[in-house]
Amino acid sequence: MSSLFPDPLIISELRKSFGERHAVNGVTFSVGAGEFVALLGPNGAGKSTLFQMLSGLFVPDSGTASVAGFDIGKEPIAALARLAIVFQQPALDLDLTVEANLRFQTDMHGIARSEAKQRIAHWLERFGLSERAAEPCRQLSGGTRRKVELARALLSQPQLLLMDEATVGIDPASRNTILSDVKALCREQAMGVLWATHLVDEAEAADRIIVMAEGSVRFAGTPKELIKLDGHKTLTEAFLHLTRKEARA
């Protein structure tokens, strides 16, 4: 490990190409403990490709990424054990109950049943799902399913939580609730959060914003710093200015 208390995520010069297209092109940034970082970019900016490298689904062409001090390329098992991810595409077994989906996750992580029972009960209560534990996930609304997926991700007590466009397709009230929950948990658990989105209003809640476009980082700083960039009045104006070529496309 690189230090006694390394950042949950450190990315350095990460690159991934598909033929002549540079999906991720020399990306460098970090996420600290208890820090909520929004990865903001239009569709096709490279956010999902970056997440797929961080979750071990893609191997980068070059560069490094480490989770809690463990290099994903050199120590993938240790690195991946310290992160959790909620993808844009739902991943619940809809025919299983809420509790069964969570229990399957703890079994996958080798968590003892006695400890798993306590963790499951904790997160069910934390997200107001205790009374729905015995319901098949198929009966739940999209927003409630997302809460189950978030609870499932947190069962392994990750040091880094990745949210990949995780609020797409759910109602505004549920979207705001999940955003508030994740930001609160970031502080409570001293957990680093990287929240990928193309929605500017979600990024407004972040401690820092990383703006990606065409595979590269265009800006890294606070929401206020982004608004002030080039004298803009709103975050939306600043974001559209940075990504105007992609917006026209």
pLDDT tens-digit map of 129-138: 999 999 999 9
User: Which pLDDT does position 1 carry in this prediction?
Assistant: 43
Q: Is 244 exposed, middle or buried (0-12, 13-18, 19+ CB in 10 A)?
A: exposed
Among residues of the chain, what percentage have pLDDT more than 70? 96
Q: What pLDDT, on the 0 to 100 scale, is given for residue 4?
A: 63
- Two tokens at 55? 């979750």
**Quick one: average pLDDT of 176-182?**
94
Task: Using a pLDDT cut of 90, give the percent of the chain over it.
Answer: 85
Q: Is residue 96 classed exposed, middle or buried when 0-12, 13-18 and 19+ CB atoms within 10 A define those classes?
A: middle
Judge whether residue 248 has pLDDT over 60. Answer: no
Comma-separated ranges of CATH 3.40.50.300 domains in the chain: 1-82+160-249
**pLDDT tens track for 131-174:** 999 999 999 999 999 999 999 999 999 999 999 998 988 999 99
Cβ neighbors of 201 (< 8 A, separation 6 or more) are none
**Better-scored residue on pLDDT, 6 or 50:** 50
Per-residue pLDDT for 94 more than 60?
Answer: yes
Q: How far apart are CA 124 and CA 97, in angstroms?
A: 12
Cα separation, 40 vs 54, in Å, equals: 17
Side-chain half-sphere of 153: how many Cα atoms within 13 Å? 27
Note the CATH architecture for domain 1-82+160-249.
3-Layer(aba) Sandwich (3.40)
